[in-house]
């Protein structure tokens, strides 16, 4: 069974640009959540999608957005990049429709903003 | 609010034991534990639900003290493979819909031969 796949794995952008990250969950998993990981703030919840609907949102500015497609693949977008957006962005999928069960994380997309 | 993990780091010799604590200022519904090795994705260890249940994964076990709103992760007879950063993730209510964890800052564990 294939795991959670995130692309791209590494990318470098400059301030003001935008970026789109992609996540393919484990087959059959309908919940996809996104986390930002930085050395200073640790793992912070961005948002979660289930059956193409955003169910939960963390405390991030509106520059951070996401969506989920009918095949459960998800994308997140960050517009007007700032230096502080440099981080590892992790996607996690879950087979459960309610309550947080085991999260299966991808290896992440490491974003560097110059 | 982010749970507080302690200690921030610990160095062990193979075979030694360690305890990692995760404390919250809010009443918790569940505590989740993950381990992340350098350059890898976090990997699920266990979930503890309100009720003080203790669980185990290999020689790693955990408990949940509702009165203190604290969970403890016990690394027993540590192995080299236990090295990594351990995160606790918390939920404050049984959410009818949604998956959302608030993670602690992590505890770095290094097990030496």
Q: Residue A55: what pLDDT?
A: 87
Q: Residue B92: what pLDDT?
A: 81
For residue A42, give the nearest of B30, B44, B106 by CB distance.
B106
Residues in contact with A61: Cβ distance below 8 Å, sequence separation at least 6, in sequence order:
none
Res. B67 pLDDT band, cuts 50 70 90:
confident
Res. B1 pLDDT band, cuts 50 70 90:
confident
The percentage of residues in chain B with a pLDDT greater than 70, rounded to a whole number, is: 88
Query: Which of A98, A101, A103 has the highest number of chain B CBs within 10 A, making it the mutation to test binding with B?
Result: A103
DSSP assignment of B39-84 equals: TS--EEEEEEETTT--EEETTEEEEEETTTTEEEEEE-S--GGG-E
| Residue environment code for B20-58, b if the CB has 16+ CB neighbours within 10 A, otherwise e | bbbbbeeebbbbbbbbbeeeebbebbbbbeeeeeeeeee
CB–CB of A32/A74 below 8 Å? yes
pLDDT above 80: residue B52: no
Which range among A23-27, B57-61, B74-78 shows the weakest confidence by mean pLDDT? B57-61
pLDDT above 60: residue B97: no
Q: Residue A98: what pLDDT?
A: 59
Q: Going by DSSP bridges, is the β-strand pair B107-112/B9-13 parallel, antiparallel, or unpaired?
A: parallel
For residue A107, give the nearest of B41, B98, B102 by CB distance.
B41
- Rounded mean pLDDT, B107-112: 97
In the Cβ-directed half-sphere of A94, how many Cα atoms lie within 13 Å? 24
If one counts every other C-beta atom within 10 angstroms of the C-beta of residue A10, the result is 10
| SS3 category, A85 | helix
Residues in contact with A62: Cβ distance below 8 Å, sequence separation at least 6, in sequence order:
none
- Provide residues of B within 8 Å CB-CB of chain A: 2, 30, 32, 34, 40-44, 47, 87, 89, 91, 94-106
Q: Residue A95: what pLDDT?
A: 81
CB–CB of B96/A55 below 8 Å? no
Q: Residue A17: what pLDDT?
A: 98
- Provide residues of A within 8 Å CB-CB of chain B: 4, 31, 33, 35, 42-45, 48, 50, 55-56, 58, 90, 94, 96-108
Q: Residue A25: what pLDDT?
A: 96
Beta carbons of A50 and B97 less than 8 Å apart? yes
Res. B26 pLDDT band, cuts 50 70 90:
confident
Q: Residue B54: what pLDDT?
A: 62
Can you list the residues of chain A whose pLDDT is less than 70?
Answer: 1, 97-100
Give the integer Cα–Cα distance in Å for A24 and A5. 5
Closest-CA residue of chain B to A38: B105
pLDDT above 90: residue B33: yes
Q: What are phi and psi of A83, to 5 degrees?
A: -55, -35
pLDDT above 80: residue B108: yes
Q: Residue A41: what pLDDT?
A: 83
């Amino acid at each position: 069974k294939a795991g959670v796949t995130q692309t791209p794995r590494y990318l470098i952008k400059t301030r003001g640009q935008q970026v789109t990250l992609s996540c393919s969950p484990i087959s059959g998993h309908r919940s996809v959540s996104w986390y930002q990981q930085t050395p200073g703030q640790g793992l912070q919840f961005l948002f979660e999608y289930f059956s193409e609907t955003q169910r939960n949102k963390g405390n991030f500015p509106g520059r951070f957005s996401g969506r989920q497609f009918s095949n459960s693949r998800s994308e997140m977008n960050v517009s007007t990049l700032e230096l502080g957006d440099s981080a590892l962005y992790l996607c996690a999928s879950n087979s459960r429709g309610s309550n947080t069960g085991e999260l299966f994380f991808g290896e992440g997309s490491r974003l560097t903003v110059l | 609010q982010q749970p507080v993990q302690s200690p921030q780091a610990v160095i062990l010799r193979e075979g030694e034991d360690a305890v990692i604590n995760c404390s919250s200022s809010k009443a918790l519904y569940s505590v989740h534990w993950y381990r992340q090795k350098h350059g890898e994705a976090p990997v699920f260890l266990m979930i503890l639900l309100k009720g003080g249940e203790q669980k185990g994964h290999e020689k790693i076990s955990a408990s949940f003290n509702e009165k203190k709103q604290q969970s403890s992760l016990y690394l027993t007879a540590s192995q080299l493979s236990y090295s990594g950063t351990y995160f606790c993730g918390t939920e404050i209510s049984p959410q009818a819909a949604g998956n959302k964890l608030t993670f602690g800052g992590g505890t770095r564990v290094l097990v030496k031969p």
